[in-house]
Amino acid sequence: MDLAGLQDALGTGEPGYRAVQLYQAIYRERASDLVHISTLPARLREDLSARHRIGLPEIARQYESVDGTRRYLLRLDDGRTVETVLMPEGERDTICISSQVGCPVDCKFCMTALLGLERSLTAGEIVGQVLLVARQNGHVPGRRLNIVMMGQGEPLLNLANVVKATRILLDPAGFGLSPRRITVSTAGIIPQIAELGREPVRPKLAISLNASTEEMRQELMPITRKYHLRDLLDACRAYPLRPWEKLTFEYVLLKDVNDSDADARRVVKLLAHLNAKVNLIALNPGPEIPYQTPAPARVAGFQQILRRSFPCFVRQPRGLDIYAACGQLKKAGAGG
């Protein structure tokens, strides 16, 4: 619930500042139980706890990686499960959250695609992943934290709930994240890209590119048969970036498929005249994926060509041993 929803839950007999107190206690102070919100009168706490609860997901399984990554299989109220990943790194944490149960996009290099789509998450289920993982790991307000919506699902096919969750996560009176610290990743759902750009409060945008030609992109990402590459790039050029912001393009490198020098030169041409950066991801393998990971030297060669034109980074895999890396979230692995 946002502030207006909490005011409705309190009822007309309570002053407006009570909703503000409740909102701050849940999102900023990360209260675990309505009964323990000391800023509210005891009578109101008892009444609220009799009618409502702070509905965080339940941890069904937890997996620990040798590199410190933690993968959580979370059970929702209807019994369905979704995955969330914590990646600690020095003084900064990154939480990778899901926007849907499963995924409808069917990318051929992604294990999550094998699940298909069960349903979209509510705004509460999206925010609840962050609140739960932050609490489990003793994350206090003020510690550097990044949120990436790169778990299960296509966020822009659940845009209303993603935007509502983002408002709560970015609200200084709510969870209190900086807009620079939250990113949503899309396969390229063109109408919703324009819709997201009109939102006054929004995350940063990352586009999954993954190919240098229309034909290859349609083969690797079947949903793009509906959303063509030329139209996607037009939407990216029209997207209203904030003064500090760049568009991020993600490119999963597949051995002998999309990783040649010619591919790299085509990517440079595609992204010319865009205020962009590129994250390269060498394929994170899975037993049901028909592609292989390119050699480090090939990844470096691809990066070198792109870096002549714009910032280009190689994302290091995290949690490979527990199937927590990009494209591996499938409610399995590491004893699952």
Residues labelled as active-site residues: 83, 326
CA angle 262, 268, 274 (to 5 degrees): 160
Record the tokens describing residue 263, joined without a space.
């591919």
The strand pair at 81-89 and 92-96 is best described as antiparallel
Strand partners, 86: 70, 95
The whole-angstrom separation of Cα 151 and Cα 332 is: 14
| Exposure letters 38-66 (e unless 16+ CB within 10 A, then b) | eebeeebbebbeeeeebebbeebeebebe
Nearest residue to 207 via CA among 166, 164, 252: 252
Strand partners, 101: 119
The whole-angstrom separation of Cα 74 and Cα 187 is: 24
Packing angle of the helix pair 190-197, 159-170 (nearest 10 deg): 30
Contact 259, 253 (CB under 8 A): yes
Record the tokens describing residue 169, joined without a space.
């996560």
Residue type at 51 in one-letter notation: R
Q: Is 203 left (phi over 0), alpha (psi -120 to 50) or beta?
A: beta
The strand pair at 70-75 and 81-89 is best described as antiparallel
Please tell me whether residue 82 adopts helix, strand or coil conformation. Answer: strand
**324: which DSSP letter?**
-
**178: which DSSP letter?**
-
* CB-facing half-sphere around the CA of 144: CA atoms within 13 A: 8
Contact 98, 82 (CB under 8 A): yes
